[in-house]
Amino acid sequence: MANLLLGCIADDFTGATDLANNLVRAGMRAVQTIGVPSAPLDADVDAVVVALKSRTIAPEGAIAQSLEALRWLQAQGARQIYFKYCSTFDSTPRGNIGPVTEALMDALGCDFTIATPAFPDNKRTVFKGYLFAGDVLLSESGMQNHPLTPMTDANLVRVLQAQCTRRVGLIDHTVVARGAASVAERIAQLQSDGVSIAIVDAVSNDDLVRMGPALASLPLLTAGSGVAIALPANFGLAPSAAASALPPAGGLRAVISGSCSLATNRQVLDFVRRGDAALAVDPLRIAAGVDVAAEALTWAAPLLDHGPVLIYSTAEAHAVKSVQGRLGAPEAGAMVERTIAAIARGLVERGVRQLVIAGGETSGACVQALGIDQLQIGAQIDPGVPWCHAHCAAASGKGLHISLKSGNFGGDSFFTHAFAVLD
């Protein structure tokens, strides 16, 4: 059996990479698997993050997938389990954060756990149980309009309580500020009051590091990726360059973007403004039956030798709405994802070995089309986004450097800056 320290279950692909990135930066060697592996772990690592696509499916499906991941991680000897969800706590009154947390607690026989999406490096902070995204409450951050998981209440105790049968409480900032012993005391107090899950405040990385030792004995942690920075120390590990070492990079470079988030729109604009080679994919032409993937690959072929090319369906909200109005939102999404994934595969078949993909759903579709089932995590490009290395069917089993960027992560020059990190 592998000597796995931390077994993680992430509810989406880019979120899984985000978590693995923070673990690696704090000194753990980590891999991310795409779905629950069918074979035992074949890598000498400290942490595995099993990436699911369970964030917005029915709670029953999310529970079943998460329990399957738990069983696999337990079979690999995982000493502690970490359930990773979004730093904006994406969920509905039906779930899936609450139901999955409770199912994991039942399976682990665990009577207490924490819940904190705080990720200060990406401006997600929790104060008095209220989640802030940037300078505003979650419910005023734009997330109140999310099409699948509208977050209209920033009070996480209330939000999580609505999803749980167990009682939810709070470990507030004054407790965290006093350090791990104080957090441990508060946990004992909450337990004697019949509380089983506590939202924990954190407004800085210092808060996360301070609470770390108090989390060492909990069989299950549930959080965004922030708390991960405090965990390797609990296992005696310290940050080291060796944890993020990847094989040397080579080959051609490309960026594929299907994310329509604000940050990605800025990143596409930045790339285009630099005059680098960029091609927009038009969903309406895909719907009209044009082989847009073949067109894009023909366009890219003579340009690839001269630097990274960008192929994107990224568009601003009004354009996306108009396409969705004509094609239907799920239909438009699926159509664009299929095309973008075919382009990603074609690019790798043509020699691209350094590939940036923007968007969670987009990343899922591309990773599947590329035939990747495991990613080794390397150096961070921007908070929440590392380079990874994978063996992939589309590269005839050879190595590919790949980065899966969450829609709203990364600075404006991400699509250029990312490749400099590999130089």
Ligand X SMILES: Nc1ncnc2c1ncn2[C@@H]1O[C@H](COP(=O)(O)OP(=O)(O)OP(=O)(O)O)[C@@H](O)[C@H]1O
Q: Which residues bind ligand LCNOYBR7 (CB under 6 A)?
A: 12, 14-15, 18, 86-88, 119, 224-225, 360, 384, 406
Q: What is the total count of residues that contact ligand X (CB under 6 A)?
A: 23
* Shortest Å, Cβ 240 to ligand X: 29
At 285 the three-state DSSP class reads: helix
Helices (H), 76-178: 97-108, 156-161, 173-177
Please state whether beta strands 385-391 and 399-405 pair in parallel, antiparallel, or not at all (unpaired).
antiparallel
| Residues 3-22 interacting with ligand X (rule: CB under 6 A) | 14
- Using CB under 6 A, pick the residue from 408, 414, 416, 418 that binds ligand X: 408
Cα separation, 124 vs 131, whole angstroms: 7
Contact 233, 26 (CB under 8 A): yes
Contact 385, 19 (CB under 8 A): no
The helix-helix angle for 360-370 and 329-349 (nearest 10°) equals: 40
Cα separation, 12 vs 367, whole angstroms: 12
Whichever of 20 and 336 has its CB closer to ligand X, that residue is: 336
DSSP conformation class of 99? H
DSSP conformation class of 95? B
CA angle 360, 403, 354 (to 5 degrees): 135
Contact 4, 79 (CB under 8 A): yes
* Shortest Å, Cβ 353 to ligand X: 22
What are the tokens at 36? Answer: 């629950």
Region near ligand X per CB under 6 A, out of 29-37, 63-71, 96-104, 359-367: 359-367
* Shortest Å, Cβ 262 to ligand LCNOYBR7: 14
What are the tokens at 27? Answer: 């000194």
Instruction: Write the CB contacts of 255 (distance below 8 Å, at least 6 apart in sequence).
Output: 271, 308, 309, 310, 311, 312, 355, 356, 357, 358, 415, 418
Whichever of 12 and 46 has its CB closer to ligand LCNOYBR7, that residue is: 12
Whichever of 260 and 342 has its CB closer to ligand LCNOYBR7, that residue is: 260
Question: Maximum CA pair distance of the chain?
Answer: 68
What is the DSSP annotation of 193-244? TTEEEEEE-BSSHHHHHHHGGGGTT-SEEEE-SGGGGGSGGGGT----GGGG
* Shortest Å, Cβ 106 to ligand X: 29
In the list ligand LCNOYBR7, ligand X, none, the entry touching 375 (Cβ below 5 to 8 angstroms by class) is none
In the list ligand X, ligand LCNOYBR7, none, the entry touching 315 (Cβ below 5 to 8 angstroms by class) is ligand X
In the list ligand LCNOYBR7, ligand X, none, the entry touching 260 (Cβ below 5 to 8 angstroms by class) is ligand X
In the list ligand X, ligand LCNOYBR7, none, the entry touching 384 (Cβ below 5 to 8 angstroms by class) is ligand LCNOYBR7
* Shortest Å, Cβ 411 to ligand X: 16
Whichever of 27 and 333 has its CB closer to ligand X, that residue is: 333
The answer to whether residue 407 forms part of the interface with ligand X (CB under 6 A) is yes
Contact 10, 96 (CB under 8 A): no
Whichever of 337 and 373 has its CB closer to ligand X, that residue is: 337
Region near ligand X per CB under 6 A, out of 3-11, 40-48, 240-248, 354-362: 354-362
Cα separation, 25 vs 21, whole angstroms: 6
What are the tokens at 363? Answer: 């990343």
Region near ligand X per CB under 6 A, out of 184-192, 269-277, 332-340, 387-395: 332-340
Whichever of 141 and 264 has its CB closer to ligand X, that residue is: 264
* Shortest Å, Cβ 19 to ligand LCNOYBR7: 7
In the list ligand LCNOYBR7, ligand X, none, the entry touching 224 (Cβ below 5 to 8 angstroms by class) is ligand LCNOYBR7
* Shortest Å, Cβ 27 to ligand X: 26
The answer to whether residue 320 forms part of the interface with ligand X (CB under 6 A) is yes
Helices (H), 350-413: 360-370
* Shortest Å, Cβ 39 to ligand X: 28
- Using CB under 6 A, pick the residue from 62, 231, 332, 381 that binds ligand X: 332
* Shortest Å, Cβ 206 to ligand X: 27
- Helices then strands, each counted (H, E), the chain: 14, 18
CA angle 380, 334, 31 (to 5 degrees): 30
CA R_g for the chain: 21
The answer to whether residue 406 forms part of the interface with ligand X (CB under 6 A) is yes
| Residues 232-271 interacting with ligand X (rule: CB under 6 A) | 258-261, 264
Q: Which residues bind ligand X (CB under 6 A)?
A: 14, 258-261, 264, 283, 313, 315, 320, 323-324, 332-333, 336-337, 359-362, 406-408
